[in-house]
Structure 1
């Protein structure tokens, strides 16, 4: 089953007080994006006392020595990301020396900061969780100290209600041993043959494997949601072209000429093959299987799918949100549209699913809502500021929703899966990980770990990596 997985919980840890002399800011020009709650005004006053040229602005931009963005603190604020990304990019590429982001749960700003700090190592980039009931003048003092503090290499900190400065770090937290297999325990306690599980991104990649594992263990009904149209017929006419390289050659032989046409056709055919294979595998183990072609960022479409599932089955017992996309590239080169696509697929998709799940009426509430994230959100990753932000946002939303959701909310931050699992790791990236000695999660170990987490776990946010993988983050 491949390398064993290490399970970690993300806990608060003391970070030590921010240390720095406000005198280092003397004469600098600092832009403060307004929060509308009085914190920006209090910070401007505190900065001016130290001869800093501070001004309240509408958004982050170039032309400043430092930026403090407090827009996440605005009452009734729409999510800061992805809208704020172009301003952050302009500020960072324009040479801003300090970027401090006031954060709220689910904003994704910590994941963004962790990644941006890796790409701009000479810039102070830090996301700061501020306690919402703190006095504005106290918040201003905390932010002033963060602007002055270049020590510790921390891109992510927070303040408790008592004013203690903290950060969040993964720590080993293995599940307790059990005499039962996870599948048996899951079928007995959470899901049975009459249960219904809906999975997004579930006809392809690691969530497809998760769907098959859930069905094999419990005999549940499986409802899949994906953007790939459901394939018609039994094949694609290129049966002898088994991989992308062979398929490109076959498509050129069929008359396609431009690289864009060839790549688009190859991607479509490979996606359809994966959907066909998943549906065929599920047909043999699930009580029933149905595929829905829908975009998880479309709230109305998600609501219609969920309502249809409940109308047919009278219940919806579990949701796995595995939909995601990658548009990797360094922040300075990343187009805002690409950032938005990556971020909204994860985050808007999760919000839409949670909202639809809550509309259960007289039918039973779901037993669980599982969000598939990535260690990129926990540690940051060069070239993945959008993906890291999205996955960090999932963690924050899960922690918030767990306080009111009727069932369990779980956010799983996965390490990289082997390319054969169909996840986000390409064969090229798999070879790069191998050169660095980074172990990858095998499909069997990954699905076993998820079943065990559902059966025995109780934490909201967990990190699951191949043994030895945590040493490389």
Structure 2
């Protein structure tokens, strides 16, 4: 009652925290942490319990010692501790020699670490230990490429296995075997789309129990094969080919985090092999080798991806003149709000902020006088004459809070002398986005010079619990949102294109398979657009978690216990300003971490979902 503002007499033990009370996972962490402090003799509430204590009765039983808080039906919970899965396949990145920096860049260097991705030759490939499945193991090859699939079948039979080919879309319709030694998902040479990635994820979900069972009895493989350029799009990506199959790497890396008994490989196959048999030989040889998860295969060449830390350098370009138009998706709150303020201070542009929250109207006098969460919720309930559910009250409070934050952001931007407009739109709706931006540009009499695509939603759930609705919402916000923005602008007028990606894509993250897939697609689309728009500075930033937005003191405490550093809001926003001063053609895919976030066993760090991304 104290933490939510609900009267104690209205709370019932069988109320669910989310569906009945509208309590998101961030507030849940705050409540459970406060309970732990007040009841120090009660069983310790660990991060892995957060995902399974759904009702007030569950919490009471756990604190009373009559429940162990473990998930039902043998499923494992996705808690903060587990979600901070290590990414052991990546060594500490190489360091460039330091260079002189001015004071502001020295401040950024003290707070953040910027690294770029580069392709590195895979050395000592023949010395890597080999992986073996049980003799006669069943292997499914999911692909529509008949020539390559047929060649894979022959190669796998030579090793004593029993391969079977089927279309990716048919995976979910198959009777699941008791044991499946390997699942190999191969993209086509022709561009894939969202449906392919959806079939891949939910096909894997369907056969997952058979894979995991085989893994616990002697070994199992999950292998994805994209068809970009043999270097994950970093070397010779065809600008005319949509690189959606690049999302397969996000799938494989997340499976590796969630299912440790299944060995995972994300392979990218070039199109320069003499024939399908040569390509199949390279694939089979690599899929049974230990070593990096991500391996690129081209004729006579094996490579992997590594991070190279680059020191901060003073940019030489001024991407925007005062008054020029920049569009930011992701709303006027949290991370994107801080970025908008930093852009306003640096360039004095005209900012168009696009978000899901309805545009705020002036508050009535009775509401304007209230400040605390408890006061606002209590008055909302009173004015509904007792007819409102607690969930409705919580939703209305969140809307009030969001509107207030939007107003504060707009005021901060206006105080810099920049012009700002906030508009509500579904970023996934290409028609609505184009109509809105066309109207705004006509009113302003100016083209759009910059796009910063920061919109994103989270729907955390383990692979076995993921739903189609969750995948579509998470994926389309990132990918369809970017496509909608690009279709709404004149590409010849665009000088800057920034995409907000995530460590979920770079390293994989338990509970966020859809987010990892979507952001990996975003990374590859950035490489595509950089080739299409050589005059434009294109960059996809794989952010670590930020210290702001939905990170409250309770979450900070948990992250500190896990040794995870958070990106300071101001430092992250100022970094992006400096990144935009780089010339077109600079690094396309970058990783930004808070200093101290990467250890010898680099960690990916998800934030529990409140339905809004903190990146």
Q: How far apart, CA to CA, are the structure 2 residues paired with 1:356 and 1:321?
A: 13
SS of residue matched to 2:556: helix
Q: How far apart, CA to CA, are the structure 2 residues paired with 1:237 and 1:133?
A: 70
SS of residue matched to 1:412: strand
Q: CA deviation at 1:238?
A: 4.0
Q: How far apart, CA to CA, are the structure 2 residues paired with 1:266 and 1:226?
A: 18
**Could you tell me which residue of structure 1 aligns to residue 293 of structure 2?**
155
What pairs with 1:257-406 in structure 2 (closer than 5 Å)?
Answer: 258-312=389-443, 313-357=445-489, 359-360=490-491, 365-405=493-533, 406=535
**Could you tell me which residue of structure 1 aligns to residue 115 of structure 2?**
8
Q: CA deviation at 1:113?
A: 1.6
Q: CA deviation at 1:37?
A: 5.6
Q: CA deviation at 1:41?
A: 1.5
**Could you tell me which residue of structure 2 aligns to residue 466 of structure 1?**
594
Are residue 101 (structure 1) and residue 224 (structure 2) matched?
Answer: yes
The answer to whether the 8 Å contact 2:324/2:446 transfers is no
**Could you tell me which residue of structure 2 aligns to residue 412 of structure 1?**
541
Aligned mate of 1:111, from 250, 267, 272:
250
Aligned mate of 2:184, from 64, 68, 87:
68
What pairs with 1:187-202 in structure 2 (closer than 5 Å)?
Answer: 189-202=318-331
Q: How far apart, CA to CA, are the structure 1 residues paired with 2:529 and 2:473?
A: 23
Are residue 46 (structure 1) and residue 174 (structure 2) matched?
Answer: no
Which has the larger displacement, 30-39 or 370-379?
Answer: 30-39
Q: CA deviation at 1:257?
A: 5.2
**Could you tell me which residue of structure 2 aligns to residue 81 of structure 1?**
197
Q: How far apart, CA to CA, are the structure 1 residues paired with 2:327 and 2:381?
A: 38
SS of residue matched to 1:84: helix
TM-score (norm: length of structure 1): 0.88
SS of residue matched to 1:470: coil
Q: How far apart, CA to CA, are the structure 1 residues paired with 2:484 and 2:345?
A: 28
The answer to whether the 8 Å contact 1:190/1:367 transfers is yes
**Could you tell me which residue of structure 2 aligns to residue 144 of structure 1?**
284
Q: How far apart, CA to CA, are the structure 2 residues paired with 1:240 and 1:119?
A: 48
What's the CA shift string for 1:267-307, capped at 9, x where partnerless? 32222222222222223335422222111111212222332
Distance 1:413 1:23, change over 3 A: closer
Distance 1:240 1:109, change over 3 A: farther
Q: How far apart, CA to CA, are the structure 2 residues paired with 1:116 and 1:259?
A: 37
Distance 1:148 1:192, change over 3 A: same
Q: How far apart, CA to CA, are the structure 2 residues paired with 1:133 and 1:245?
A: 64
Q: CA deviation at 1:316?
A: 0.9
Q: How far apart, CA to CA, are the structure 2 residues paired with 1:208 and 1:10?
A: 27
What's the CA shift string for 1:191-226, capped at 9, x where partnerless? 111311000013122111111111122111111111
Distance 1:165 1:266, change over 3 A: farther
**Could you tell me which residue of structure 1 aligns to residue 351 of structure 2?**
222
Q: How far apart, CA to CA, are the structure 2 residues paired with 1:4 and 1:235?
A: 42
Q: CA deviation at 1:55?
A: 1.5
Aligned mate of 2:308, from 171, 181, 186:
171
Distance 1:459 1:83, change over 3 A: same
Distance 1:431 1:256, change over 3 A: farther
The answer to whether the 8 Å contact 2:329/2:452 transfers is yes
TM-score (norm: length of structure 2): 0.69
RMSD: 2.6
Q: How far apart, CA to CA, are the structure 1 residues paired with 2:478 and 2:458?
A: 11
What's the CA shift string for 1:350-390, capped at 9, x where partnerless? 22223333x45xxx511011001112211122212122222
Distance 1:456 1:409, change over 3 A: closer
SS of residue matched to 1:82: helix
The answer to whether the 8 Å contact 1:23/1:50 transfers is no
Larger Rg: 2
Q: How far apart, CA to CA, are the structure 2 residues paired with 1:236 and 1:128?
A: 60
Are residue 438 (structure 1) and residue 564 (structure 2) matched?
Answer: yes
Q: Which runs of 5+ in 2 are unaligned?
A: 1-106, 213-219, 229-242, 604-615
SS of residue matched to 2:404: helix
Are residue 122 (structure 1) and residue 261 (structure 2) matched?
Answer: yes
The answer to whether the 8 Å contact 1:47/1:53 transfers is yes
The answer to whether the 8 Å contact 1:199/1:320 transfers is yes
SS of residue matched to 1:403: helix
The answer to whether the 8 Å contact 1:256/1:262 transfers is no
